[in-house]
Chains A and B, each alone.
Chain A
């Protein structure tokens, strides 16, 4: 079943077109990752779906309905968005931050109901932040801070989670921790997750569906086996990649790679070599 889809989406800043003619289908209950080089329009797509940046033309459908026809609060009950490196006001505690995730479900003064409190506690537990509940967010380490933001997003209790580079600035262990948390949410709660991610091997390992972009256009989508190939990576990143199977997960892994030189340069180099 399709959770989110785009139809002929065209996005740009001013006269500059960033994304053209994008037709994307996000399936319910799957983890979808978008990969691509810097500036290929990955984050822009997320921003448009998250209704932060309006599209030039085309439509985004959420559960089959045109997203711009749905009241924004209704959307917030179905879709949570975590932008790249968000910032919390100084002094705000983890608990307070997570409680803000409940706001789409509240009305009036923003008083927390017992249901709200339960969800917040669950979000604290699941992200392993229970002992930090009363710590200010700006006093946490990078990994803890990111978990706090994810906790806020999951406290929103939406079927769909959009995350823009949730693992940037984190070390290897913390990256894995975040991704395993997302995988758990997907497996145990059936949450649909869409994320932009830079580490190809993580994308391959954790996603059901991969979308590869280049210069605003969709190059290839499909399972990790279909997307993580020598040919696709050559087009998307201009790299000459060595793909092998991970003996533990049976997923394709990019083992080693080199930049592909532009042809005239290689030619020049050859001349020099001779």
Chain B
């Protein structure tokens, strides 16, 4: 009984620290930017007593972007955790399995054919590209699933098929990207490196409900992931309908990563690294490990976005790049420390 208590306490402590860090970062991030706004003015603005300019910068630009960063981070991290659990491969993440590249290809097609409607801040333009990305992610996932299906889904086959589909979309991206004019090319390159763009409240309004439904669902399914991790035989013996649950979890992971990629571009590595770090912190039981993964993902993306926006102002570094630069060394450190 004490054992469980100890773990629970550790879980609560870990979550609290991560949440605290996220909140601190959130406040710092609100202050920073091309226009610096002091904490007092931030507070004033948030309760509706700030200047019109502060109001515009904070409420219309900064806040939605930061909230998107949190949502995207949580979504991608949990999607990666689910994929690692389902495929039983430590290298699995939405990027390696071709889901990101599927979305990327759709976006490249969009930029290639419909460039122009994108620069306008019309509602149409804002929603069409994420929609394309999401459809692309879904198509990629569907292709992978159909091709990997053979009287059931075998984890190794799933990964192999994922690699193949990933390479196929990657090649297609390359062909179209090289045919673009320099301006479109840059835009595509930035998107592929991961970039929170089109950050406005409408986008938040679309993404937030979706992610906030899917995340609890994933955590709710945590106990199933635990059992699947013991192997198909043991899981069946414990009363899990392995095939059905695996499909459900895959769909959840695809939806999470599809929505996240739609808003955040091709952020690679996060889906792999956040679950690894979380596992080191709290162990492999998914009820504890998935929430930690989610918060960790949020924290990482928010941190990366804050740094990317402010480090080389006015040049913005795409958030995906910053995620990799910062989390890779920590990941390597963990790797070297582990037995």
Contact = CB atoms under 8 A, between A and B. Distances in A.
Contacts of A90: 284
A38 interface: no
Given A76-B237, A86-B234, 6 more contacts: A52-B236, A80-B237, A81-B236, A100-B227, A109-B219, A121-B1
Contacts of B223: 100, 103, 106, 109-110
Given A76-B237, A96-B283, A109 B220 contact: yes
Interface residues of A, number: 42
A153 B237 CA distance: 9
A76 B238 contact: yes
Contact of A81 (B1, B7, B234): B234
A92 B283 contact: yes
Given A77-B239, A156-B238, A92 B220 contact: no
Interface residues of B, number: 28
Nearest to A46: B233
A144 B6 CA distance: 22
A121 to B, nearest CB: 7
Contacts of B1: 117, 121
26 contacts: A52-B237, A72-B240, A74-B239, A76-B237, A77-B239, A82-B237, A86-B231, A86-B233, A86-B234, A88-B230, A89-B229, A91-B283, A91-B284, A93-B3, A96-B226, A99-B4, A100-B226, A103-B223, A103-B226, A104-B238, A106-B223, A108-B220, A109-B222, A109-B287, A153-B237, A156-B238
Contacts of B238: 76, 100-101, 103-104, 156
Contacts of A117: 1, 4
Contacts of A109: 219-220, 222-223, 287
B241 interface: yes
Interface of A: 47, 50-52, 72-77, 79-83, 86-93, 95-96, 99-101, 103-104, 106, 108-110, 112, 117, 121, 133-134, 153, 156, 162
Nearest to B219: A109
A75 B231 contact: no
Interface in B248-295: 279, 283-285, 287
A99 B3 CA distance: 12
Contacts of A95: 3-4
A28 to B, nearest CB: 20
A65 to B, nearest CB: 16
Interface in B199-234: 219-220, 222-223, 226-227, 229-234
Given A50-B233, A52-B236, A76-B238, A110 B3 contact: no
Contacts of A108: 220
A190 to B, nearest CB: 21
Closest 5 CB pairs of A and B: A76-B239, A110-B223, A81-B237, A73-B239, A83-B233
A104 B224 CA distance: 11
Given A72-B239, A89-B229, A92-B283, A112 B4 contact: yes
Count chain B CB atoms within 10 A of each CB in A52, A121, A134, A162 and give the residue with the most.
A52
B241 A93 contact: no
A226 B220 CA distance: 52
B239 A103 contact: yes
B5 to A, nearest CB: 11
A8 to B, nearest CB: 23
Interface in B279-316: 279, 283-285, 287
Given A76-B239, A110-B222, A134 B283 contact: no
Interface in B1-57: 1, 3-4, 6-7
Contacts of A153: 237
Contacts of B279: 91
A72 B222 contact: no
B29 to A, nearest CB: 32
